[in-house]
Amino acid sequence: MDLTLTSFAPAMPEMFLLGMLSLVLVVDLFLTERTRHITYILSLLSLAGTFWLVLDGYPRLPELAFHGSYINDPMAALLKLFMLLAVMVVLVYSKEYIKQRDMYKGEFYLLVLFATLGMLVLASAHTLLTVYMGLELLSLSMYAMVALRRDNVDASEAAMKYFVLGAMASAMLLYGMSLVYGATGTLDFALMGEAAAKLPTNDVTMLFGIIFMLVGVAFKLGAVPFHMWVPDVYHGAPTAVTLFISSAPKLAAFAMLMRIFVDGLGELHQQWQGILIVMALLSFGLGNLVAIAQTNLKRMLAYSGISHIGFLLLGVLSGTSEGYAASLYYAITYVVMSLGGFGMILLLSRAGFEADKLDDLKGLNDRSPWFALMMMMLMFSMAGVPPFLGFWAKLAVIQAAVGVGLVWLAIAAVVFSVVGAFYYLRIIKLMYFDKPESDAPIESSADLRILLSANSLAVVGLGLFPSSLLAICSASIG
């Protein structure tokens, strides 16, 4: 048995985060409402420390730890950096909002830290068992976070739907995993590929396993036809929680897709490609069409998120390393834009008022020209207008699809993104050409204003210089 410290070293960030999480758990017991900011600062510090550890241990070559349960490769490290950044941004954005809504408790921060730990584990999973444990850690904390305001009817309903459907998706995933284990005889992704390659083509057990696992992963991503929970949960959950669910966990779900289907079952690409094509087509089709009919901003962003997942799948289904890099780029891009979009709702909300209707954005230009400009850039980016970040991401995944000869799918993607431009442009019209419904000044703290501006400007900055981030993504896929 080789049990030295070096065999644990690659998992340093996770271990540090777990230690800090336990510290926050104990420290928070001794805090009162007035000193709660210590929990907030400690949580931010734990995330920042983890960020530094990931950066410090950035691997050049994949490193295995814990007898092959854990892998630290460039893709995992890059995903972790963006997950941690996104979670830190979420904490800063949501501070005022949760204070006003009686959610300013240690549990909120603890659940966020638990979920973050789950995401890190998912990004580094190298066996099916680790994937499942990371997923449960992430999902359980998210169910609880949605239910945190249990006196709110919408939130309770959303939590119930999310929990029941999520449990079913987990069961499907587990069933698929058990079938794949039965067919290949291993849980390890490195050995699974070899074992799967030896099986006869269209082996029934393997096919069933792949389909069930895809159902589970598609649920977590929120891809059509497993998207039913997305609008209800995004709408019903407190906006701070919606902001969280729509950002970093999408990176984790992407990591799960990549780990299982590229690291593990990359050899069987032919067998899962068709399913992903259907899912991608349905996702950007249905997402963009239904988003047009929404009057609630959170629901609209939920459907827009579904359509973005469709685009994300375009890269993965192409099965080339360019495609994987493009999808990674798209996932990061989506998280940046989604943080900005939901952050804007948090900015406009105040005690007793949720700015989650499209009408609440009316005449934003008269109330705050600066944030109207920020929102306009975010919407242009989501719609995929050059030179904003979203355009380059869409371009990259569509190029990947064209690269493997799926021209018809690429054309469909372009058509639906034009359809989607309608509802993004409608928001810009509401902000600039309609009269405001109320003249209430925007009350928000300085840190939220500064970070949200930085977030929106990042969409422009990364859009003007798209090659750097894309190059990092390509290097991470290797």
Partner 1 sequence: MSFEQILFYVFSSFLVLSAGAVVTLRNPVHSALALVLAFFNSAALWMMLEAEFLAITLVLVYVGAVMVLFLFVVMMLDINIARMREGFAQLLPIGIVVAVLMFGVMYQVYNGDRFAPGDMPVPTPHAADYENTRELGLQLYTTYVFPFELAAVVLLLAIVAAIALTLRRREGTKYQAPEKQVVTRREDRVRLVKVPSEARK
Written as one letter, the residue type at 258 is M
The residue (of 158 and 452) whose beta carbon lies closer to partner 1 is 158
What's the min distance (Å) between Cβ of 130 and partner 1?
6
The CA distance from 473 to 400, in Å, is: 14
What's the min distance (Å) between Cβ of 227 and partner 1?
25
What's the min distance (Å) between Cβ of 266 and partner 1?
22
Burial 194-215 (b: 16+ CB within 10 A, else e): ebbeeeeeebeebbbbbebbbb
Cα-trace Rg, the chain? 21
The residue (of 108 and 330) whose beta carbon lies closer to partner 1 is 108
DSSP 10: G
What is the contact surface with partner 1 in residues (CB under 8 A)? 1, 3, 11, 18, 25, 65-67, 69-70, 105, 107, 110-111, 114, 117, 121, 127, 129-130, 133-134, 136-137, 140-141, 143-144, 147-148, 150, 182-183, 205
Instruction: Say if CB 81 and CB 118 are below 8 A apart.
Output: no
What's the min distance (Å) between Cβ of 229 and partner 1?
18
Instruction: Say if CB 189 and CB 222 are below 8 A apart.
Output: no
What's the min distance (Å) between Cβ of 196 and partner 1?
14
The residue (of 95 and 126) whose beta carbon lies closer to partner 1 is 126
Instruction: Say if CB 187 and CB 245 are below 8 A apart.
Output: no
What's the min distance (Å) between Cβ of 58 and partner 1?
21
Q: Which residues contact 381 (CB under 8 A, 6 or more apart)?
A: 337, 388, 389, 390, 391, 459, 463
The residue (of 118 and 363) whose beta carbon lies closer to partner 1 is 118
Cα-based distances in Å from 366 to 348, 424, 431: 14, 19, 8
What's the min distance (Å) between Cβ of 143 and partner 1?
8
Reference 185, options 177, 195, 194; nearest CA is 195
The residue (of 11 and 280) whose beta carbon lies closer to partner 1 is 11
Beta-ladder partners of 247:
none
The residue (of 153 and 407) whose beta carbon lies closer to partner 1 is 153
DSSP 188: B
The residue (of 141 and 294) whose beta carbon lies closer to partner 1 is 141
